[in-house]
């Protein structure tokens, strides 16, 4: 079976299973989604949602986050992996959003990826979910499943992203990455 034929079957089945997948990270606005995605690196969405519930009650804007300061941000997120670095990144990206972007989350890859703690995947999620720009955020779960399904033999997430963008229609990218994540969590765990 060709990759394109496999991709059609996968797309059809994922649409049946997850017709309207929600964004798995709880957020109030574009800024809190950006923060949640930064915090989700090497952590579970479930844990991030638990901790940001209280954090976002007191700091749901760049100004409030800067006022909170690094040490207080750390207190809210200390249960997450890499919490020391993440608290510094959240503080500094909040400051940059105020100073360079007029309190608005930037809407370009270049500007997003220039923020502390924001890599290509995080920028892709924000571009997709906040600005509705067709992107295909690929994390380790999507990378693993894409290899398992024979859609890529990419050695890294960047190559997998390129391969998936060639196979799937652009109109499906924003929803499809969420559908694959939900499928992986429910049916195809890394340990399984």
Residues labelled as active-site residues = 121, 139
User: How many C-beta atoms surround the C-beta of residue 101 within 10 A?
Assistant: 16
**DSSP label at residue 127:** H
Evaluate whether 132 touches 138 at the Cβ level (below 8 Å). Answer: no
**Which tokens in the block code for residue 146?**
């894409």
Phi, psi dihedral angles at 156 (to 5 degrees): -145, 170
Q: Is 104 helix (H, G, I), strand (E, B) or coil?
A: coil
From CA 137, how far away is CA 123, in angstroms rounded? 8
């Amino acid at each position: 079976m060709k990759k394109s034929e496999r991709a059609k079957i996968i797309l059809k089945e994922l649409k049946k299973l997850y017709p309207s997948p929600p964004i798995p990270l709880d957020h109030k606005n574009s800024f809190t989604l950006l923060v949640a995605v930064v915090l989700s690196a090497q952590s579970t969405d479930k844990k991030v949602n638990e901790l940001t519930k209280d954090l976002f009650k007191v700091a749901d804007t760049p100004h409030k986050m800067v006022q909170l300061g690094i040490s207080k941000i750390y207190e809210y997120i200390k249960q997450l992996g890499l919490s020391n670095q993440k608290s510094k990144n959240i503080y500094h990206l909040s400051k940059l959003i105020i100073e360079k972007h007029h309190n608005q989350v930037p809407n370009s890859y270049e500007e997003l990826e220039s923020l502390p703690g924001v890599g290509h995947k995080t920028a892709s999620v924000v571009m997709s979910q906040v600005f509705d720009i067709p992107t295909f955020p690929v994390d380790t779960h999507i990378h693993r499943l894409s290899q398992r399904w024979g859609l890529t033999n990419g050695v890294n997430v960047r190559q997998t992203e390129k391969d998936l963008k060639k196979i799937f229609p652009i109109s499906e990218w924003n929803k499809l990455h969420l559908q694959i994540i939900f499928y992986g969590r429910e049916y195809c765990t890394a340990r399984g």
